[in-house]
A and B are shown apart, each in its own frame.
Chain A
């Protein structure tokens, strides 16, 4: 069944259209005057003013790697983030922790861990999929560089951005 939308009955003034134009012009003029005298504008002057203080807890900035309170890399190079990453921004080369290391029990660690920030879409799936709570999206959003190579965050850069996260699971600590 076709549904017929009733046409509104217009008055002469409405049909003439010109009064409506004038009314519209009046509205835009009002906004214009308000903005001209600095009352209406809500634009934030970005590099000088920043959102940083009011970023919400769940803000998804650049993905970073974190260490635990014993300075152990949480990442064990399971490559699930590499697998889940929709734009394939993550590249991991796994390696084996040498037997002399005090964390030898963990056996595996990322030899190389690269996130291509040109590709990253900040979706947070890597954080969600990580079984070791090793990768977190922090609040850094202004990721810039002059070359493509600069935009690839390597392991050192990721740990520098991520820092230490304690109070998470202690799966590899035999006492817990």
Chain B
């Protein structure tokens, strides 16, 4: 050991920093501001204003007025969060206490776990600092918490666990509506896991790997899956492949809606039918965990769509964190700047998708349950299967 910090310790330290910064610095604020966005966008769609009053309470610090940033109401998520924490945490007498308390945890944990494999940036290179401190560099740090080769399979494995939380919540509440919500949620999630899994098989055939970082890098080099000409190359294979990719995208996207219980597939918590579905009996912070999980799942889903179809952190003409690709002229700036830009690009794309999620929610009415099942089992399942053969055919007809 001739260095202060071995490579192993460096790896653990960076992973910890990445986890903490991403979860508490990015995802949780993003969740609360997604809720804010949800309320503002829905209001604007309905010709209302939405929450526009709560500023940052600078009056508490002795200022004359609360700080109102350009939109107004930006303090709302803070107030909401405070409300969730301060409200009475009520556990009804008729519930099964252990599972009732366990359920929200089982919902939020998988939602956060899936974020681990998402590549939210290319890489960051701070060797110029480390060299001064430790005397040698460690090389660029990959901007993904866990760069594992099963990548997407890990996401599916973990996200399907969240159904247990919902079922437990519904069952342990020992009350009609939560129970119905839980049952609905089970059948819905199981049905759509099938099509979501089948819809990405064509992608593996194209990419040839499961590691999400590698998939994004592949797209950066060969063009995004949905916009194949972002790298300027033009081949017949790309044109032919666009069709199955688009089909996959539609199925994947819709299934993500279903998996995250978002409208038009929010049957587990359909308030007109089931009061509030599986979380009817929950209050205060336990309810907030369900709420957080829904939005976290939405962010994870969006991140997955971005990574699989929309080129992840890549934007044409922008170099990655190691200084590869992009315009020659941009290479004059230090690489770590581009590393941060890549992260920004990724979350920018995710934000656009979240707005899209919200936009869809306030446009479409809820499906009937039989329609939901029909769509999942009869249409998406079959189309995804056919799509696999279609992709195989395309790949065979247009060899690279």
| A35 touching B48, Cβ below 8 Å | yes
| A29 touching B48, Cβ below 8 Å | no
| A31 touching B49, Cβ below 8 Å | no
Return the chain B residue nearest A43 by Cβ.
B49
A29 to chain B, nearest CB (A): 7
- Prevailing SS type, chain A contact patch: helix
| A32 touching B48, Cβ below 8 Å | no
Provide the residues of chain B in CB contact with A34, threshold 8 Å: 47
Question: A19: CB under 8 A from chain B?
Answer: no
Provide the residues of chain B in CB contact with A40, threshold 8 Å: 47
| B44 touching A36, Cβ below 8 Å | yes
A13 to chain B, nearest CB (A): 15
Number of A-B contacts (CB under 8 A): 39
| B47 touching A21, Cβ below 8 Å | no
Contact of A31 among B44, B360, B364 (CB under 8 A): B44
List which A1-52 residues lie within 8 A (CB) of chain B.
Answer: 18, 21, 24-25, 27-29, 31-32, 34-36, 40-43
| A24 touching B364, Cβ below 8 Å | yes
| B360 touching A25, Cβ below 8 Å | yes
CA distance A40 to B41 in the complex (A): 13
Question: B190: CB under 8 A from chain A?
Answer: no
| A41 touching B49, Cβ below 8 Å | yes
What is the interface size of chain A, counting residues whose CB is below 8 A from a CB of the partner? 16
List which B39-61 residues lie within 8 A (CB) of chain A.
Answer: 41, 43-49
| B359 touching A31, Cβ below 8 Å | no
Provide the residues of chain B in CB contact with A21, threshold 8 Å: 360, 363-364
| B47 touching A42, Cβ below 8 Å | yes
- Of B41, B44, B49, most A-chain CB atoms within 10 Å: B44
A97 to chain B, nearest CB (A): 51
Question: B287: CB under 8 A from chain A?
Answer: no
Return the chain A residue nearest B264 by Cβ.
A21
A63 to chain B, nearest CB (A): 31
| B47 touching A35, Cβ below 8 Å | yes
Provide the residues of chain A in CB contact with B41, threshold 8 Å: 32
Question: B362: CB under 8 A from chain A?
Answer: yes
**Chain B residues packing against A (C-beta within 8 Å):** 41, 43-49, 250, 359-360, 362-364
Can you pick out 6 interface pairs between chain A and chain B where the beta carbons lie within 8 Å of each other? A25-B363, A31-B46, A35-B45, A35-B48, A41-B47, A43-B48
